[in-house]
Amino acid sequence: MNKKIYSAVMERANGYCEVCNRYFGEKLQLHHIVSGTGKRQKYETLTSCIAVCIECHNEIHSNRKLDLALKKLVQEKYFRQGLNEKEVREKMGGRIY
Protein backbone atom coordinates (compact mmCIF):
# COMPACT_ATOMS: atom_id res chain seq x y z
CA MET A 1 0.00 0.00 0.00
CA ASN A 2 1.29 3.41 -0.97
CA LYS A 3 1.43 5.41 2.26
CA LYS A 4 1.06 8.75 0.46
CA ILE A 5 -2.14 7.61 -1.24
CA TYR A 6 -3.43 6.10 2.00
CA SER A 7 -2.81 9.39 3.84
CA ALA A 8 -4.38 11.47 1.06
CA VAL A 9 -7.50 9.27 0.95
CA MET A 10 -7.91 9.42 4.72
CA GLU A 11 -7.39 13.18 4.70
CA ARG A 12 -10.01 13.56 1.95
CA ALA A 13 -12.51 11.49 3.96
CA ASN A 14 -11.85 13.48 7.15
CA GLY A 15 -13.10 10.58 9.29
CA TYR A 16 -16.27 9.95 7.24
CA CYS A 17 -17.02 6.77 5.34
CA GLU A 18 -17.11 7.70 1.64
CA VAL A 19 -20.00 5.29 1.04
CA CYS A 20 -22.45 5.81 3.94
CA ASN A 21 -21.09 9.22 5.05
CA ARG A 22 -21.14 8.28 8.74
CA TYR A 23 -18.31 9.44 10.99
CA PHE A 24 -15.82 6.77 12.08
CA GLY A 25 -12.72 8.83 12.79
CA GLU A 26 -9.56 6.75 12.51
CA LYS A 27 -11.45 3.44 12.22
CA LEU A 28 -11.81 3.77 8.44
CA GLN A 29 -10.27 1.26 6.04
CA LEU A 30 -8.84 1.78 2.58
CA HIS A 31 -10.79 0.08 -0.22
CA HIS A 32 -9.15 -0.48 -3.60
CA ILE A 33 -11.89 -0.16 -6.22
CA VAL A 34 -9.63 -1.65 -8.90
CA SER A 35 -8.48 -4.93 -7.41
CA GLY A 36 -7.38 -8.42 -8.28
CA THR A 37 -4.14 -10.35 -8.45
CA GLY A 38 -1.34 -7.82 -8.90
CA LYS A 39 -3.76 -4.98 -9.62
CA ARG A 40 -4.15 -3.33 -6.22
CA GLN A 41 -0.73 -1.76 -6.06
CA LYS A 42 -0.32 -1.30 -9.81
CA TYR A 43 -3.53 0.70 -10.18
CA GLU A 44 -3.59 2.35 -6.74
CA THR A 45 -4.43 6.04 -7.16
CA LEU A 46 -6.23 8.71 -5.19
CA THR A 47 -9.12 8.28 -7.64
CA SER A 48 -9.32 4.48 -7.35
CA CYS A 49 -9.21 4.25 -3.54
CA ILE A 50 -11.83 5.25 -0.98
CA ALA A 51 -12.06 5.35 2.80
CA VAL A 52 -14.83 3.12 4.13
CA CYS A 53 -16.16 1.82 7.42
CA ILE A 54 -15.98 -1.93 8.10
CA GLU A 55 -19.70 -2.37 7.39
CA CYS A 56 -19.50 -0.74 3.97
CA HIS A 57 -16.21 -2.51 3.20
CA ASN A 58 -17.85 -5.88 3.85
CA GLU A 59 -20.91 -4.85 1.81
CA ILE A 60 -18.75 -3.82 -1.16
CA HIS A 61 -16.97 -7.18 -1.16
CA SER A 62 -20.22 -9.15 -0.90
CA ASN A 63 -22.39 -7.05 -3.23
CA ARG A 64 -21.38 -7.26 -6.90
CA LYS A 65 -23.77 -4.45 -7.89
CA LEU A 66 -22.22 -2.02 -5.40
CA ASP A 67 -18.70 -3.04 -6.45
CA LEU A 68 -19.59 -2.50 -10.11
CA ALA A 69 -21.22 0.87 -9.37
CA LEU A 70 -18.02 2.05 -7.67
CA LYS A 71 -15.93 0.86 -10.62
CA LYS A 72 -18.19 2.80 -13.00
CA LEU A 73 -17.83 5.95 -10.88
CA VAL A 74 -14.04 5.69 -10.97
CA GLN A 75 -14.13 5.08 -14.71
CA GLU A 76 -16.31 8.18 -15.21
CA LYS A 77 -13.88 10.26 -13.11
CA TYR A 78 -10.99 9.17 -15.33
CA PHE A 79 -12.92 10.15 -18.47
CA ARG A 80 -13.75 13.55 -16.91
CA GLN A 81 -10.03 13.98 -16.20
CA GLY A 82 -9.52 13.86 -19.97
CA LEU A 83 -8.20 10.33 -20.34
CA ASN A 84 -9.07 8.47 -23.54
CA GLU A 85 -10.58 4.97 -23.61
CA LYS A 86 -7.20 3.24 -23.89
CA GLU A 87 -5.83 5.16 -20.89
CA VAL A 88 -8.97 4.51 -18.84
CA ARG A 89 -8.85 0.82 -19.70
CA GLU A 90 -5.23 0.70 -18.50
CA LYS A 91 -6.08 2.44 -15.20
CA MET A 92 -9.06 0.12 -14.69
CA GLY A 93 -6.89 -2.99 -14.91
CA GLY A 94 -7.57 -3.69 -18.57
CA ARG A 95 -11.36 -3.40 -18.50
CA ILE A 96 -14.09 -0.89 -19.29
CA TYR A 97 -17.24 -1.23 -17.20
What residues pair up with 16 in beta bridges, in sequence order? 23
CA distance 55 to 64: 15
3-class DSSP assignment, residue 16: strand
**Domains of the chain by residue range:** 3-91
What string of pLDDT tens digits covers the 97 residues of the chain?
789 999 999 999 999 999 999 999 999 999 999 987 777 778 889 999 999 999 999 999 999 999 999 999 999 999 999 999 999 999 999 999 9
Model confidence, pTM: 0.87
Fold entry, domain 3-91: DNA Binding (I), subunit A (1.10.30)
